Structure 1
Amino acid sequence: MTDLTIVMPAYNEADGIADFLTDLDTRFEPEVRIIVVNDASTDDTAEVVEGLGLSRVELIDSPVNVGHGPTTIKALQAGVAAGTRMVMAVDGDGQFDVGDMHRLVDIALAAESDVVEGSRFERGDPLFRMLTSLATRVLVASRCGMWPKDANTPLRVYRADVLADLLGRIPQDAMTPNLFMSVLSRRRRLALIEIPVKCGVRRGVTTEGSTWGQRRRWLPTKRFLRFCTDAVGQWFGTRIR
């Protein structure tokens, strides 16, 4: 029996989330729970999730849009509240291979790890994304003295009791909760494993992400740049316990 809850934040993922959830429902054991936290999407994400009629899938529908970071935290909190031994976090865009996801859970169980991180490779990101990824590694290393392979990966498996402790140590409005988790997991010397995983394009008709708005593929949007500026300000203004 796999004592696991899978949680995911979702924003405007109506195009591809049905395929992703159906894939998870097919590949994971029947007792595994799935929780989707919809961040007040402006498309039919909530209706698509409910329309699947999958008994193991729970939808939490936020009344107002609060952003990816706080929605991720809300999803993680819901995972802890589910009462399972382990919680897996993943974004709702379906970029990760479900086989890789299952492999991370198997590794976490076999190694009795506190945290398993899925480190993305073969991403095919534009230069500005590669530079952003490098910057996040520098930010995390500056706080804990260790270099993560993928500081901001959204694919992680946690022991639920460990996750509950970590959540109590980061701001509830954190714009980059995965970076805070990367710091805390290393600073607190948790049993941590990093596993390489494939990362493709988001599922659905539109393969570009919906969070940052329309852009030329090789250039960041103004929204993305504004987010980075605000997130860095919050990062340096927050004391990590």
Structure 2
Amino acid sequence: MQYAHLAVVMPAYNEVEGIGGFIDEIRTAVAPLAERVTFVVADDRSTDGTAAALSGIVDIDVQTQPANRGHGPTALAAYRGGLALSPDAIVHVDGDGQFLGSEIASAVRALGRTGADVVHGVRHSRTDAWYRRLLTAGVRLLTAVIVGRGVPDVNTPLRAYRPEALQILVNAVPSDALVPHVHFSFAEVRAGFAVRYLSVRSIPRRGASSTGTMWGKVARPSLPPKKLVLFALSALREAWTWSLRPGAPLRALEFEGPGSA
């Protein structure tokens, strides 16, 4: 299936070392899948010239955010920027380049081939620190217990959406959400979205420096940084408030689309 217009949206923070090559790789991989491809980069007030490096490239719309707010709000801003273009399909991936362009294209193909509302890229071969993998596993277990169905990679950043389905999710989640993809995953299960899962390889981020990571350098890599621990606690509170507790707003989300029929 070839789309008339595919939007590739990505949040980015201090990714000047690798983001240009990453976009080039994606562009080459998805070119056969759409008559037109547009990249929307939500730049979270990078300090390394990320926005400037992408400025002036015809198919890239760089949207510098009004303030540095972190990954979650910036990802939502990227989604909103993509939806504003009224494309036929939207694929989200982080600007750190931890996926291969060919597998991003596979997610787009799967969206059209299966008629799904969303395709999740389920990461394998992750090189993240043990505590980040443990956190992901813990959230997956929590999902299975509370939501009633397991989600293989509940916070994966590689997702391909039909715009109608994505708009429902973006409208339902607060714009300052710390973990929008976790909320999306919960809501997709409960509201009956047609979700397909695609195994994809996770590779190290493409930049050599630590400035593009949310957590920066870690003095003792064997231990989780304090910033990550505090973030995880805040994210858990947010997930409970918006998605998990009885009467949570996102528990009442309803959706009926072609993919869910």
Query: For this structure pair, what is the TM-score category when the shorter chain's length is used for normalisation?
Result: over 0.9
1:226 aligns with 2:230: yes
1:105 aligns with 2:108: yes
Correspondence list, 1:46-85, <5 A: 46-50=51-55, 53-85=56-88
Q: Equivalent residue for 2:40?
A: 35
Correspondence list, 1:87-126, <5 A: 87-126=90-129
1:14 aligns with 2:19: no
Q: Equivalent residue for 2:255?
A: none
Q: 1:192 to 1:174 in 2, by over 3 A?
A: same
1:60 Cα offset (Å): 0.3
Whichever residue aligns with residue 225 of structure 2, its letter is T
Whichever residue aligns with residue 48 of structure 1, its letter is A
Q: Equivalent residue for 1:203?
A: 206
Whether the 8 Å contact between 1:202 and 1:208 is mirrored in structure 2 is no
Aligned-partner SS, 2:227: helix
Which shows bigger deviation, 205-214 or 111-120? 205-214
**Quick one: which of 137, 141, 165 aligns to 2:140?**
137
Distance 1:143 1:81 in 2: 34
1:155 Cα offset (Å): 0.3
Question: Gaps (5+ residues) in structure 1?
Answer: none
Question: TM-score, structure 2 length as denominator?
Answer: 0.87
Question: Gaps (5+ residues) in structure 2?
Answer: 243-247, 253-261
For the aligned residues, what is the CA RMSD?
Answer: 1.6
Aligned-partner SS, 2:42: strand
1:206 Cα offset (Å): 2.6
1:100 Cα offset (Å): 0.4
Q: Report the number of matched residues.
A: 239
Q: 1:198 to 1:207 in 2, by over 3 A?
A: farther
Q: Equivalent residue for 2:167?
A: 164
1:12 Cα offset (Å): 1.0
Q: List structure 1 runs of 4+ shifted beyond 6 angstroms.
A: none
Q: Equivalent residue for 1:5?
A: 7
Q: 1:151 to 1:166 in 2, by over 3 A?
A: same
Distance 1:208 1:112 in 2: 39
Question: TM-score, structure 1 length as denominator?
Answer: 0.94
